[in-house]
Amino acid sequence: MATTAQLNLTSDITDDSLNVTTGAKPLYLAGGTTDVNTLTSVTKTLESTNQVDLITTGSVSTTHAYVYIKNKSEDASEFFHITIGSAGAGSPTDTEEIGRLYAGDFMWFPWDVNDDVCITPSVATKMTVEYMVFS
């Protein structure tokens, strides 16, 4: 059975309601039609505002993967900076921010596995992040 992803987006913030749905699309390994066959799922609690490598290039054995990250916080003021780069090499200057995840937010993106996915909590109290890597 194939691993698939689907997105449903609805909104009423304009005069015309928005309803976008992409059908379930299979997730393939790079450059082919072979289904992804590995899933890594982790929940991690961080207690500092230090930038850390969340997902390293060495943790994936392919050249292409899909990443899901969710901020499990319920406090609207707590967020994570999500960056691509290497937290260990002169951080944070060797990373580029791709977004912030506020309480309950999630992101999904294709990852070329060339650079680490890094994360920086906005506060030093316990913050929990959930992530999955499909490869």
Q: Residue 47 sits in a domain of what CATH number?
A: 2.60.120.10
Share of the chain above pLDDT 90, in %: 53
- Regarding beta strands 127-134 and 65-71, do their DSSP bridges make them parallel or antiparallel, or are they unpaired? antiparallel
Does residue 98 belong to any structural domain of this protein? yes
CB 107 within 8 A of CB 76: no
CB 62 within 8 A of CB 29: yes
Q: List the domain range (segments joined by +) for residue 104.
A: 38-134
pLDDT tens for 57-115 read 988 888 899 999 999 999 999 999 999 987 665 555 577 899 999 999 999 999 999 99
Does residue 82 belong to any structural domain of this protein? yes
pTM confidence score: 0.87
Please state the domain count of the chain: 1
